[in-house]
């Protein structure tokens, strides 16, 4: 047992009480349990979120603890691929809400959800609205890793169509959990707009928003070309996101 | 009674049956019932959404009909100002879902929600996920007006802090419903970051996301300086959004 | 912008605050989005409810404001006819409840729902019971237009079977929104009990109550003979209902 | 064990299967658990409903069975008096719905709810709408005893204000369950409009509808003068309702 | 009317107020409406629970009252047999919860649910957890009759496979409600493990828990051999359970 | 990446498809996030459940996979101690249900929940009933570790009052995750009945069931004397439970 753990799940109730007294931020890592193509594991998004939570907490000793994870997210678009487990948006919202309510009952006031899965964004946004309504005393912050990774990712050489299991996500996994990536099975997925049917092409736009199932977008569940991803790229992404989050939390604690 | 109406609410059940047979897109305008500062009406977002629906429908005769509106949206952040009426995200989702289910039962397959209120975005995103799960036969598209307005709005001369009731929204209302704007009461709201408390400054970032109540962001409910807005700017915005939507729907119908 | 508007949707948050301070009644117009036969529009019930709200508000300046509408009601019995959109009773109840909760949060205490659609009655009755339970501080009143119209309607020359889209409703629309009535398409619907199957005949009794779908009651969705309706009859009905409501509200405000 | 019982609760599963095969009507008695003044029991409404169910079933041997009761109804307006137990409208609806769903799964198609408590009417009306939506194969009929009693009750000599625990209900109990009426404790309740506060007077109208708690309407929970009630009046009421229901069911089975 | 009744349903609101003032325990009898083989009635579990409630209340005059029953329980496993009516666990929980909430609003603090149906156990356990969360002021106790009967039942000569409608339950009914048992129709059901399919054999273990439908366990819905049951055995069981409950309540009231 | 992993979260969608084709059992480990006294971590129940899942899966290669965990359980009774996070029973049920529904959609038919937290038992029992109702095609099995540990635990030398964080649980943790046990902080909790208040003493009985908050049962959250626990005892318990589960699954797969 290390006294320097920052994971509540590995700490005792007395440690939890001390964290409340310090006014710590509680990080809740949120993932998904969904297909990640032929080479990456179902828990990819949780693995990345928990890893990021660890990095932020390690950088801010005595200011941050990590609460329970949300291992399953909102992934109906991946149900066409075996193994995907999804929650309804309403269910994911309720689970996250009850985590927050429990933490708030003990006295924590600052909650940060880090989601490795952007499919949870809409529900986290709705939860934030509910909390604003019911619990104005709580400061509830959430972010997708992908949003904070965008400045780095934008500079990468990526296919015309990219995203899920693509260059960026694969690079992160090669840095964070290389033992769980089957490098020999990495293959391109859909990489160009003209590989998509017309409706799926429209679905690539940011607005208007049109949701498609992944089995309509890609035969192997991959968007982009993961074979070009490197662990060094992954490190650059992960470092940038870590820095952004550490800076954010420091400002927050000082606010 | 004009035979050329495209609003289902003004049409008969026989007209509805004809629209189903044609495979029309059904537009659902979504608004909000919330404070819009000292000079603009509570229904501003609905007015803009219904106006936009009319423009799109008028441009695509015999291809589009307009279904019932969602006059109240998700606005807990405005409850600090008198008159604001809000639905819970879960309630808004259920109402929109039951609109879609009813329309689908008659045979329509293409639904487009145009929301004048970006506070509805999260819930519309969650609804899209639920529909993907339950009704893969339906093509459900949604957009905020603000998202499509961004290319034009970005070129406007706006305050450092801007948004709700600001330059863009006021300009749109001066074009679309000038009789409902009290031009003499237009006054700046919060216009600079240093007018905000530290937490509210953090809340201005896109990611991480931190929701604040509007009474924490602005004394009069306004972000930006609406006194600089002009009807001409409004026309430019509205025209650009109309064009974007008309083009989108045409592609969609051809897909 | 008219300073004499009484519609909250056209007013500002400052106007709303003034209304709260005056102790105004807030009227919520409730409609339906359902078939109204070959000659009348889907939004007939909303149109009549909003019109009635306007009349009552106009007669009681500075005592009444009109809140957001409920444009879609409980109409499963009309789903057999194209275009009908329905909410579940539970959904309609929740929406109306959240309207009331929002208004009450601002300080209004008197709420009046005017429904143009009697299919909303059961749910409004259930909502009244919930409010009695949870919000004894709120005075929640509701009425169907048809209930208040009964004294006048009873004196009209109507078919043996009458009701939806029949003599009374058509007369009201000819007075209130003649431009939306296709006079040339007005045709009789089911007008006599012996046109009904035995179960539908039983369904015409007040008690016991037996609900039937309209496609079981009428081939064209009409009950009664709308061809005999006149705008003058409509005026008589509308005037009587207006008077009844104005008198009621005056007593209420004096109570 | 009598072979001639018609109560499913006293019958075996084989008897139930035979009833399904015959196409019987299933009666569900609904009551309330609420104050009935100083002289009558909390279960008055259930007692009257179960008694009526027995009478109808006895009159139609081999055509009708009685299913499980709904012993608690929607009674928030009586919670000011000790002992009242209430369900939410949504809960009562769900319970009744699950009774119907279970019965329908076995093959029964005709369900009749007899409610001794008019406070259940709104919810039963809403349930009928839900069933119309989801289970068009089921013929769902419901009635309050009071509605069918009206022709007889109207001829009784009753106080200006009457109703709950008043002349009619007390008369029924004196006929149906005299051993549960404390005749020596029967006392008048509120009997005249001028005993009511202005809002409660408005609440006595049929439309608009304004719900009041019973502790606002009557100090002892009684409306009317139960001391004038007789068992003979009760017999007349009960006989009239029985006849109305038996005739109704016969028509129904023949339809 | 006996002044010594302890059933709230037969008492007046004044009697209820007196019970609250005394700090009585309120017993809620819970049953099921489900098949009980070829010889016993659908309401067997309710009959046994109400009988037990009466015995306990009679033994503790002025300390215990009986509230409304829960006549229908959680019985999906019996739906394969005609007549069974079931509630969802969530619905049963909500109904029981609203009973408790109503009673608590009047001031009772001690609630005891006696269930004749062990299929309600899981839901009652979940309800107890919810009450612990929300209403720490309430002492909520529940028990299945079978749990308290186990010491006596264990000494009976029973078949290898026994349970529903078996030796113990039949014995209880022969003591409590012999007029509702068709003695001539009592026949053995499944009595030996080798009559079960392999999965059903596994389902007989306490842990792990594997639920099976009764039509998979027994052709006639019976487990065990009810032909060996006697009224004397039933008396022994009922007396033992009564004693256990009376002792428990006495300790509780003294705690 | 080991090809011999049995954790779906570490496997790819292709591996998942292979598991479905083999007809594997899917194990879902369920824990709790709750106080475990001064010496053991909040995630104790999840750690034990996931460890047990691994042991069973490792013993049955190619027959079992492990799905996503349920890291938070139903723990309202521990909310008096800092750090405890709880779900409502209804929420826990829904989450587990959606896991099962997702797995079933891919074709798995055998699901086994291993819960390290007995507070989840009631909800798992209710879920089993819902699945029996809705998904008779699924074989849903669940067990608490404690239930299978009972034969070994019963032979241990334990305090009169024992249970949560007591001899057995501590022994298991000393075997399974010794690095997370602060051996130097292990102290006795409540160990004798006479240390409890009268109501808490009653709460120690199996039936009737009376739930108490842990802060009413123990000052430090511990029941029993963990200082006597040894890793060897833990191994004996864990081995016995593993054997029981492996045997069970083998029978199941052969059924």
Domains of chain E and any CATH numbers: 8-254 (3.40.50.10310)
Does the structure show a pLDDT above 50 at A51?
yes
- Chain center to CA of C156: 20
- Which chain B residues are closer than 8 Å to A80 by Cβ? none
What pLDDT score does D4 carry?
67
pLDDT at B1: 39
- pLDDT (0 to 100) of residue C4: 67
Neighboring chain B residues of C99 at a CB cutoff of 8 Å: 72, 85
Phi, psi values for residue C186, rounded to 5°: -65, 125
Q: End-to-end CA distance of chain F, in Å?
A: 33
Which residues in chain A are closer than 8 Å to B152, comparing Cβ atoms? Answer: none
**Residue closest to F31 by CA, chosen among A69, A53, A104:** A69
- DSSP labels, A128-168: HHHHHHH-TT-EEEEEEHHHHHHHHHTTS---SS--TTSHH
DSSP for C76-93 reads: GGGTTSTT-B---HHHHH
Residues 6+ apart with CB under 8 A from A19: A8, A11, A26, A65, A108, F83
Distance of residue A16 Cα from the nearest chain B Cα, in angstroms:
24
Type and span of the H or E element at C48:
helix C44-59
Please indicate whether chains D and C are in contact, defined as at least 3 beta carbon pairs under 8 Å. Answer: yes
- Orientation of helix E145-153 relative to helix E44-59, angle to 10°: 90
pLDDT over 50 (residue B11)? yes
Write down the pLDDT at residue C2: 46
Helices assigned H by DSSP within chain A: 13-22, 44-59, 89-106, 121-134, 145-153, 167-176, 198-202, 214-217, 231-254
Predicted confidence at residue C248, as pLDDT, reads 98
Which residue among A17, A83, A91 places its CB closest to the CB of F8? A83
Nearest CA in chain E to F143: E208
- Contact between residue B67 and residue B30 where contact means Cβ atoms under 8 Å apart: no
The side-by-side arrangement of strands in the sheet containing E25-30 is E64-66, E25-30, E110-115, E139-144, F209-210
Calculate the CA D124 to chain-centre distance. 11
pLDDT tens by residue, C115-165: 999 999 999 999 999 999 999 999 999 999 999 999 999 999 999 999 999
ipTM exceeds 0.95, yes or no:
yes
- DSSP 8-state symbol, D85: B
| Cα–Cα nearest to A234, from A156, A143, A121 | A156
Q: How many CB atoms lie within 10 A of CB A165?
A: 28
pLDDT digits (tens, 9 = 90+) for B173-206: 999 999 999 999 999 999 999 999 999 999 999 9
Q: Do D98 and E84 touch (CB under 8 A)?
A: no
- What is the model's pLDDT at position D1? 39
pLDDT tens readout for residues F13-22: 999 999 999 9
Task: Show the DSSP H helices in chain E as ranges.
Answer: 13-22, 44-59, 89-106, 121-134, 145-153, 167-176, 198-203, 214-217, 231-254
| C-beta of residue B45 within 8 angstroms of C-beta of residue B116 | yes
Mutate to test the interface with A, among B140, B211, B241, B247 (most CBs of A within 10 A): B211
- Asked if F40's CB is within 8 angstroms of A12's CB, the reply is yes
Q: CA nearest B26 in C: which residue?
A: C83
Dihedral Cα D167, D170, D176, D178, nearest 10 deg: -130
The residue in chain A having the minimum alpha-carbon distance to the alpha carbon of residue F34 is A13
Cβ contact, residue pair A209, B76, below 8 Å: no
**Does the pLDDT value for residue A170 go beyond 60?**
yes
Pull the structure tokens for residue C90: 């539970």
Enter the DSSP assignment of D207: S
**pLDDT-flagged residues of chain F (< 70):** 1-4
Answer yes or no: is pLDDT of B90 > 50: yes
* Angle (CA) C6 C7 C10, round 5°: 115
Q: Specify the range with the lowest mean pLDDT, choosing from A206-210, C4-8, C122-126, D55-59.
A: C4-8
CA distance D81 to D222: 11
Per the CB < 8 A criterion, the answer to whether F169 and F119 are in contact is no
Q: Show residues of chain F in contact with E208, CB under 8 Å.
A: 112, 141-143, 147-148, 245, 248
- Which among A133, A197, A248 has CB closest to B76? A133
CA distance F215 to chain A (A): 13
Backbone phi and psi for residue E103, each to the nearest 5 degrees, phi listed first = -60, -40
For D156-214, the pLDDT digits (tens) are 999 999 999 999 999 999 999 999 999 999 999 999 999 999 999 999 999 999 999 99
DSSP structural state of residue F144: E
Angle at D214 (CA atoms; ends D208, D219), nearest 5 degrees: 130
Structure confidence at residue A1 (pLDDT):
39
Give A123's contacts in chain B (Cβ within 8 Å): 122, 126
Cα angle, residue A116 at apex, residues A114 and A119 outer, rounded to 5°: 105
- The burial class, CB within 10 Å (0-12 / 13-18 / 19+), for E157 is exposed
For an interface test with A, which of B32, B115, B125 has the most A Cβ atoms less than 10 Å from its Cβ?
B125
DSSP string, chain B: --TT--BGGGS-HHHHHHHHHHT-EEEEEE--B--BTBTB-TTHHHHHHHHHHHHHHHHSTTTEEE---B-----GGGTTSTT-B---HHHHHHHHHHHHHHHHHHT--EEEEEES-GGGHHHHHHHHHHHHHH-TT-EEEEEEHHHHHHHHHTTS---SS--TTSHHHHHHHHHH-GGG--GGG----B-SGGGS-HHHHHHTSSSSEE---HHHH-SSS-BS-GGG--HHHHHHHHHHHHHHHHHHHHHHHH-
Length of chain B: 255
The size of chain D, in residues, is 255
Closest partner residue to C139 (CB to CB) among D125, D199, D207 is D199
The minimal CB distance from F180 to the residues A1, A33, A82 is found for: A1
pLDDT-derived band of residue A2, with 50, 70 and 90 as boundaries?
very low
- Res A4: pLDDT: 67
Rounded to the nearest angstrom, the minimum Cα separation between A28 and chain B is 14
Sign of the Cα torsion F158, F163, F166, F168 reads positive
Neighbouring chains to D with at least 3 Cβ pairs closer than 8 Å? C, E
Confidence of residue C1 (pLDDT cuts 50, 70, 90): very low
Contact call for C245 and D131, based on CB within 8 A:
no
Q: Which two tokens stand for residue B27?
A: 């537009």
Residue D102 binned pLDDT confidence (cut-offs 50, 70, 90)? very high
Residue from the list E123, E147, E207 with its beta carbon closest to the beta carbon of F126: E123
pLDDT at E105: 98
Cβ–Cβ of F86/A102 closer than 8 Å?
yes
First to last CA, chain C: 33
- CA dist C128 and C252 (Å) reads 17
Q: Taking CB atoms and an 8 Å limit, are A208 and B133 in contact across chains?
A: no
**What rounded mean pLDDT belongs to chain F?**
97
Alpha-carbon gap: F82 to the closest alpha carbon of chain A (Å): 5
Mutation site, B209, B242, B254, B255, interface A, largest A CB count within 10 A: B209
pLDDT score of C16 more than 90: yes
Distance from CA of B41 to the nearest CA of C (A): 5
Number of A–F residue contacts, CB under 8 Å:
170
CB contact under 8 A, D77 and C148: no
Return the residue matching tokens 């000659």. C39
- Nearest CA among E147, E142, E150 for reference residue E29: E142
CA F249 to chain centre: 17
DSSP secondary structure letter of residue D194: G
**DSSP per-residue letters across F191-235:** -SGGGS-HHHHHHTSSSSEE---HHHH-SSS-BS-GGG--HHHHH
Q: What are phi and psi of F138, to 5 degrees?
A: -100, 140
The percent of residues above 90 in pLDDT, for chain B, comes to 98
Using one digit for the tens of pLDDT, what is the confidence trace for B42-78?
999 999 999 999 999 999 999 999 999 999 999 999 9
What is the three-class DSSP state of F79? coil
Local confidence band at E3 (pLDDT 50, 70, 90 cut-offs)? low
Q: Dump strand ranges (E) for F94-228.
A: 110-115, 139-144, 209-210
SS3 E90: helix
Closest CA to C136 of B87, D210, D201: D210
Q: State the CB neighbour count (10 A cutoff) for residue E132.
A: 17
State how far residue A205 is from chain B, nearest Cα, in angstroms: 10
In D, minimum Cα distance to C214 occurs at: D132
Distance between CA atoms of residues B192 and C81, nearest Å: 55
- b/e sequence F110-148, b meaning 16+ C-beta within 10 Å: bbbbbbbbbbbbbbbbbbbbbbbbeeeebbbbbbbbbbb
Say how far apart CA D233 and CA E45 lie, in whole Å.
38
According to DSSP, the β-strands at B139-144 and A209-210 are antiparallel
pLDDT tens for each residue of E93-145:
999 999 999 999 999 999 999 999 999 999 999 999 999 999 999 999 999 99
Chains C and E touch (3+ CB pairs under 8 A): no
Rounded average pLDDT over B124-150 = 97
Q: What is the pLDDT of residues F170-190, one digit of tens each?
A: 999 999 999 999 999 999 999
Residue E214 confidence (pLDDT) = 97
Distances (CA, A) of B214 to B80, B81, C171: 7, 8, 47
């Amino acid at each position: 047992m290390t006294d320097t753990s920052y994971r509540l799940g590995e700490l005792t109730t007395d440690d939890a009480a001390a964290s409340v007294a310090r006014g710590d931020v509680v990080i809740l890592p949120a993932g998904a349990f969904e297909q990640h193509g032929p080479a990456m594991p179902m828990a990819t998004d949780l693995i990345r979120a928990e890893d990021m939570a660890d990095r932020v907490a390690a950088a801010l000793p005595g200011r941050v603890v990590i609460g329970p994870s949300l291992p399953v997210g909102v992934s109906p678009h991946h149900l066409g691929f075996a193994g995907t487990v999804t929650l309804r948006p309403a269910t994911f919202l309720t689970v996250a809400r009850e985590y927050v309510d429990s933490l708030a009952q003990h006295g924590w006031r600052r909650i940060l959800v880090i989601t490795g899965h952007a499919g949870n964004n809409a529900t986290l946004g709705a939860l934030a609205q509910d909390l604003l309504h019911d619990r104005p005393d709580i400061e509830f912050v959430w972010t997708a890793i992908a949003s904070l990774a965008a400045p780095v990712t934008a500079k990468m050489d990526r296919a015309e169509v990219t995203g899920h299991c693509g260059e960026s996500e694969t690079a992160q996994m090669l840095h964070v959990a290389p033992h769980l990536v089957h490098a020999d099975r990495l293959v391109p997925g859909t990489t160009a707009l003209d590989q998509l049917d017309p409706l799926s092409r429209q679905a690539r736009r940011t607005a208007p928003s049109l949701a498609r199932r992944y089995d309509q977008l890609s035969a192997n569940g991959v968007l982009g070309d993961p074979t070009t991803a490197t662990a060094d790229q992954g490190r650059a992404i992960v470092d940038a996101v870590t820095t952004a989050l550490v800076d954010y939390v420091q400002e927050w604690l000082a606010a």
